[in-house]
Every structure is written in C-alpha cells, then in structure tokens.
Amino acid sequence: MQFIRVLDDVYLLKTPFSIVWSGVILIRGEKNFLIDSGAHSPETYIEPALRALGMSLSDIDWLLHTHAHGDHITAHHEIVERYGVKVACLDKQVANLTDPAQNAIRIRTRFPEHSPAPQSWLQGVRPDKILREFEALEGRLTPIHTPGHDSDCVCWYDHKHKFIYTGDSIQGNGTPTQGIAFYRSLDDYLTTLRKLRLMDIHGMILGHEYAGLGDVIRGRDKVVYALDLCLEYVRTYHRTIKDMKALGAYSLPDMAKTLINLCGCGMPEQLFLALYTVSEHLERLGRK
C-alpha cells in the first residue's frame, strides 16, 4: 500500500477495511497533516507508506480525523502515544474522539441481532487544539461540521486547493459493506448536502469508494453533480420505503433487504447500517 498523489501536495492511502478500503490523507508542506488513520495499527500500512515518501510519523505536525469510527481512527491512540503527534479537532468532535468505544457500542447495540460485536477495544485521544467551525488550522485547513452519517462528522476544507476531505460525510449510494447510504440522522444528512452545495468547493476526496461517486471528484460542476446525486439517492430511498410502508407487510429487516435489492450496491453481511437509514425514513414518514 502506497500513498497516491491526488494533488501536488496531497496524497491518499487506501488502507484495507473489510471488503472495501478506508482512506488516510497526507498533506505535505510547511506543516504536515494526516487526516484519519484507518482500521489498523500504524506500522501495518501508514508507516511503510510514509517511508516510501522519505517520511515518518515524527514528521507529522497535526493528526486530524473526519469522525471517530473505528475504520477512521484506530491508529490515532498509538500514533499519539509513540510519536507525540499533536491532535486537533472540531469542538463537536471532542466527546467521541476521547471515547470512541462508547460511540461504537451505541451504534452496534441498537440492532443487536443484525450487528457485529461493538468495537469496545477502541482507544481515544485528547485533542491538543479544539477548533470552532470554520476556524483555520495553520492557515491551511478548516473544519466544516457535516453531521448525518454521525453527529461528529467533519469535512476538512483545504484553502489551497478548495478541496474538501469528506470521510463518510458524503455517502453516494453506500458501499458493499453497507448496501445503501448510511446515516444516523436523515435531517442532518440533508442539511449537510445542501450546506456543502452552497460552498465554493472545487474537489472532494472521499473516505471510501462510494457507489455512484468513486473516490476523487474534481471540478466545481462535478462536485455539485455529486451532491445532487446524493440527494437523489435519498429521494429514491424515501419513495421506495413509503411504498413498502403503504403495503404494510414488511418487517424492518425485510424493508432493508428489499431496499438494498432494489436500489443498493450489494447485500452486506450485517444489516445494522441499512436499518439505521430505513428507520430514519420511517420516522420522517411518521411525522407527516
């Protein structure tokens, strides 16, 4: 695994995670940034990939994250403990970053029959710098609060390139491990998509290869198209779930499976992520 150059000073490392990959972003310059750390210890993929560029983790000035899920922050604790790398985060990320295990337990115990075991082994870190939304870090990166997938999701806006590094904030049609897009809050996810659409964004690097979107999006027009496509996936899910609800013959797992078969990108081994999405649409239908 090696870092792939996406921009002149921005690199993407695709670290394995189940049957997909989870992205780690390196930004080189007067200050070096690492965004996310994947699902493995740093010596497995990050350290060898940095060595191939003539770098080590001791060269990293700031360790950041897009959200505190295990496939994005597993190596954070070890990187901080072994190398003393400083950590910065948005104020709304502090709770989950310091105790990611509790967040994993909350996610994976709502639908216990359809979920893997909680990642109770995850270790958190304490931030050295806490940022407000739109506050610049070293004049280069700014956090944009983009909840929906989870409450602590952030896109990092790169002022040099007008790119955002999205993690899982932008879902497309999901990944094969999800089946469809996964959001814990439908209202927040819609707000995030509309918020980003209004911003001056000229490219995106996503945290996984999302169905319908890919991994890197270049150009303002393509960014707008990608965000509109995400909105269209949400509308398609909603229409399909509304039709199933009207028939009244579906259990929640059956709804999830049917939605995946009709609209998704592959049936996952565990349904818990799709169950969250379907539940959010049912809740919205119940409010009408």
Band (pLDDT 50/70/90 cuts) for residue 288 is: low
Question: Distances from the Cα of 38 to the Cαs of 67, 100, 129, 161, 179, in angstroms?
Answer: 11, 14, 21, 24, 21
Average of per-residue pLDDT values in the chain: 97
Residue 153, judged by CB atoms within 10 A of its CB (0-12, 13-18, 19+), counts as buried
Each residue of 175-234: pLDDT tens digit?
Answer: 999 999 999 999 999 999 999 999 999 999 999 999 999 999 999 999 999 999 999 999
> How many Å apart are CA 119 and CA 211, to the nearest integer?
26
Each residue of 46-96: pLDDT tens digit?
Answer: 999 999 999 999 999 999 999 999 999 999 999 999 999 999 999 999 999
CB contact set of 27 (below 8 Å; sequence gap of 6+): 9, 10, 11, 33, 34, 35, 140, 141, 158
Each residue of 250-277: pLDDT tens digit?
Answer: 899 999 999 999 999 999 999 999 999 9
241 C-beta neighbours (distance < 10 Å), count: 24
CATH number at residue 137: 3.60.15.10
DSSP 165-232: EEETS--TT--TTTSS---S-HHHHHHHHHHHHTS---EEEEEEEETTTEEEEESHHHHHHHHHHHHH
pTM score, whole prediction: 0.97
Query: What percent of the chain clears pLDDT 70, i.e. is strictly above it?
Result: 100
Query: What percent of the chain clears pLDDT 90, i.e. is strictly above it?
Result: 98
pLDDT at 249 over 80: no
Each residue of 29-48: pLDDT tens digit?
Answer: 999 999 999 999 999 999 99
According to the model, what pLDDT value does residue 287 have? 80
Q: Please state the rounded mean pLDDT for residues 142-161.
A: 98
**Structural domain harbouring 101:** 4-287
**Domain tally, the chain:** 1
